[in-house]
Structure 1
Amino acid sequence: MIFSRKSGSGRHAKDDTRVSGTRSLEEELGLVDDEPEEPVAPKASRPEGPYDVTEAPAGIPQLDLGALKVPAVDDVEVRVQADNEGKIQQIVLVHNDSALQLGVFAAPRSEGIWGEVRAEIRKQLFTDGVAAEEADGEWGVELRARVRTPDGLTDIRFVGIDGPRWLVRAVFQGPAAVDPDVAPPLLECLRSLVVDRGHEAMPVREPLPLHLPKEVAEASADGSTSEVPLTAAAGGANGAGEADGPERRKPSPRPRRK
């Protein structure tokens, strides 16, 4: 795992994908997402993830990053950007020339929000002069576009998965954005991803809390360490201690953040 520090308040950057819908005054003000009094019952088991923590199959080696449990998959490098308190602001998985950026957000109990989030992403891309089109994918309707980065034009693909009171937003970049079969290890990561939403009430679209494993946070608390291999996080990973750290690769361009 590559870990880089970033100074700041420790909160995730605010998600720009906000639109107004038919909501109560409390929801419009971002005060609550739903009643938190009872744990959410698990949905019927799905053949593939992302999984809610209540329905995740056992035995998946994972890197525990708080609200997200990232599976340990061969040939996938986990790059994490965090602040000085160990609170994660960005997770990017890299395989060869493809990348997968992961984000997880609070959602209401009653309905999914990927449809409206996707519409706003498309609107923002259009405002930026980028044409985007919708396409059917493994997880339903997704959004595909080509954006300009410092390294040139790059293909990106936005995938959204609604779960019980959460939304996973996955952004593929590079060859995997055009042909998912180019980077099957990244697909394996997304299919085996586990979300631990917790039971606390949170504003809709608020990023769920992500943090470095305790051992990694302590090892880099003095600020002297900017990169930590995956094996150093073994104590914070469920069953990942036997995995070898991936080789260093030239960083791929980061997905454009919206």
Structure 2
Amino acid sequence: MFGRNRREKSPAAKAVVEEVERVPSRESGPWDADEPHPERERVDLGGMRLPVDAGFEVQLNLAGDQIVGAVVLFEGSALQVHAFAAPKRSGIWDEVRAELAEGVKGAGGTAEEREGPFGAELAARIPAEGGEQPVRYIGVDGPRWFLRAVISGKAAEDAGVAATLEGVVRDIVVVRGDEPMAPKEAIELRLPPEARQAAEQQDAGGDVPDLNPFDRGPEIAEIR
């Protein structure tokens, strides 16, 4: 008798509902700069905001004069992170993971896919001086970007140390920008403001604090 008046949603309203339904609720990152994310201390590297805590040493990966990645050193372990452009409607981790596995095996190492805290990852052992080196390759597909993380050293096999570095990955903020980029093109990073100021003072011949902004981090099977 008092039935509700059913009205059809407009096409625009349906599109909004469908879009909301496609966006998963997330409890942790890596985060996109345009989505809400928790505030914490991070180093601003331009294309990436990297969490920092006491006991961390941060180094930079250089390709010529270009900064393309960062390394966090912690308790005999290293976390190497790089951000890349990705297609708008599809991720690239499946493809990159297969390329990494092929490259590791081609270099005489081993690589096994397993499920990790961020989904599928690679547990690898790569030839190194004095024996094989255990390495974990982690990948996260974001909106128009892809983040690759490589954990080596003690944390590759010690879950307690690994948890700290995994926490870093969860709190990274990727700043993709709006400029067109080819898939797998590295998102360029830059020195944080205080390090740029120190470098400028150094170029001018002034006294500068020892920030070590140009330390090159370790390269772990750099495969594109």
| Band of TM-score, shorter chain | 0.7 to 0.9
How far residue 63 of structure 1 moved from its aligned partner, in angstroms, is 0.5
Give the number of the structure whose residues are more often helix, by fraction: 2
- One-letter code aligned to 2:82: G
In the other structure, the counterpart of 2:211 is: 228
Paired residues for 1:147-158 under 5 Å = 147-150=126-129, 152-158=131-137
Is there any run of 5+ residues in structure 2 with no aligned partner, and where?
Answer: 1-19
TM-score (norm 1): 0.68
Paired residues for 1:117-136 under 5 Å = 117-136=96-115
**Distance in structure 2 (CA, Å) of the matches to 1:205 and 1:169:** 11
Match of 1:48 among 28, 36, 48: 28
How far residue 73 of structure 1 moved from its aligned partner, in angstroms, is 1.9
Match of 2:55 among 46, 55, 75: 75
**Distance in structure 2 (CA, Å) of the matches to 1:105 and 1:115:** 14
**Higher CA-based Rg:** 2
Is there any run of 5+ residues in structure 1 with no aligned partner, and where?
Answer: 1-40, 231-250
Distance change >3 Å, CA 218–CA 83, structure 1 → 2? farther
Paired residues for 1:1-258 under 5 Å = 43-82=23-62, 87-150=66-129, 152-221=131-200, 222=202, 228=211, 255-258=220-223
Check conservation: 1:134, 1:143, Cα contact below 8 A: yes
Q: How many residues align?
A: 197
**Distance in structure 2 (CA, Å) of the matches to 1:119 and 1:83:** 24
How far residue 82 of structure 1 moved from its aligned partner, in angstroms, is 4.3
RMSD: 2.7
1:127-147 residue CA offsets vs partner (Å, 9 max, x unmatched): 112121100001111011111
Check conservation: 1:149, 1:253, Cα contact below 8 A: no
How far residue 84 of structure 1 moved from its aligned partner, in angstroms, is 8.3
Distance change >3 Å, CA 115–CA 226, structure 1 → 2? farther
How far residue 126 of structure 1 moved from its aligned partner, in angstroms, is 1.6
Check conservation: 1:94, 1:252, Cα contact below 8 A: no
Higher relative contact order structure (alpha carbons within 8 Å, sequence separation ≥ 6): 1
Identity %: 37
Distance change >3 Å, CA 141–CA 88, structure 1 → 2? same
- Structure 1's consecutive aligned runs of 4 or more residues displaced over 3 angstroms after TM superposition are 41-45, 81-85, 221-227, 251-254
Q: What secondary structure, in the 3-state scheme, does the structure 2 residue paired with 1:220 have?
A: helix
1:37-96 residue CA offsets vs partner (Å, 9 max, x unmatched): xxxx994441011011122424211100011100122222111244786x4133111111
Distance change >3 Å, CA 216–CA 194, structure 1 → 2? same
In the other structure, the counterpart of 2:6 is: none
In the other structure, the counterpart of 1:242 is: none
